[in-house]
Structure 1
Amino acid sequence: MDFREINIRKLIKTRVEELEIPLERICEYLGNDQQEIQKYYMEKSIDCHLLLKWSKLLEYDFFRVYSQHLILYAPVKRTNIELQSRSNMSYTFRKKLYTSEIIDFVIEQYSSGVMTKRDIIQRYKIPKTTLYKWLVKYHHNKKK
């Protein structure tokens, strides 16, 4: 999956097809007629409340797709106060920051030759040691 361009309507439609959910059930759950449902598939964006309903109906966390995008393309900027307070503290690392989808995406970018290690480190701000550990652990498994 490409986390750069999120096509939520396509993801929803694909999930509906995977689960083979009848259109009547979707209409009843969302409280809309068939034409409204077809309109949802054409919309570029979707209301959060409606996306929550789709997530429940399709048993998939569509919000995670947006979270993945934020982790990869909009890293949190640190303020000067936060940086100063961190210099006085010992470092604490968040081990579960990256999900398996992000790791797979980054490994795929490297494996396919789209990006080099340096490109990945610079663009996504992934620590060098973390990337190298992923390549050893996951790149080897992908070859099998």
Structure 2
Amino acid sequence: MSVNFKNIHIGSMVKQRTIELDMDISRICNFFKCSADEVEKMFLHEDLPTNILLSWCKLLEYDFFRTYSQHLILFSPPAKKDASKTEKKRTELPQFRKNIYTKEVIDFILELVNSQQKTKRQIIDEYRIPKTTLYKWIMKYNKKEIEDKKK
């Protein structure tokens, strides 16, 4: 299953992970204290409340929230930089770097390049991935792919 970072259907991702782990429905029902029908309904939901999704993350040992982070990396509009506003607003919330790319995002981008769905220039412009980063990925991961095919 290829992850669609633009249109996330978290219920189907949760279902896919339960299938991959061959997790018994009774274990899931015991964990959530609900019926099998309620579990099946969760699989059909495009989104889930964060407390429920957090529970799924723990049960299935997978960070589903990372999917949303990757969506932000790929599809959030660039922050406007105003030179006249040099002072940043303070926040008590934790601050995260935006340019941390997971293997899934790298694979997604390389698939776009290799299948010629997008040009390198389009990827650089649309996803704001630095040119040097994109070219390093192409060299590194396409080289690995060629070596793996030779084995």
| Range into which the TM-score falls when normalised by the shorter chain | 0.7 to 0.9
Q: Which amino acid aligns with 1:63?
A: F
Comparing 94-103 with 53-62, greater Cα deviation is found at: 94-103
Q: How does 1:85-124 map to 2 (within 5 A)?
A: 97-124=100-127
How many residue pairs match? The answer is 137
**Runs of 4+ off more than 2 Å:** 81-85
Aligned partner letter, 2:42: Y
Overall identity of the aligned pairs, in %: 43
For 1:42 and 1:82, the matched residues in 2 are separated by 48
Corresponding position of 2:135: 132
Q: How far, CA to CA, are the matches of 2:84 and 2:5 in structure 1?
A: 29
Of 75-84 and 17-26, more deviation after overlay is shown by 75-84
Aligned to 2:82: 80
2:72 to 59, 65, 70: 70
Structure 1 or 2: more helix by fraction: 1
Amino acid at match of 1:37: V
Q: Which amino acid aligns with 2:35?
A: D
Tell me the equivalent position of 1:59.
61
Q: Which runs of 5+ in 1 are unaligned?
A: 86-93
Q: CA RMSD in A?
A: 2.2
Structure 2: give runs of 5+ residues left out of the alignment. 88-96
Structure 1 Cα separation of the partners of residues 12 and 118 of structure 2: 26
Distance in 1 (CA, whole Å) between partners of 2:51 and 2:144 is 39
The normalised TM-score by structure 1 is: 0.85
CA displacement, residues 27-70 of structure 1 (integer Å, 9 cap, x when unaligned): 11011111111111112210000000001000000000110111
User: Would the aligned equivalents of 2:9 and 2:45 in 1 still touch at CA under 8 Å?
Assistant: no
Q: TM-score, normalised by structure 2?
A: 0.81
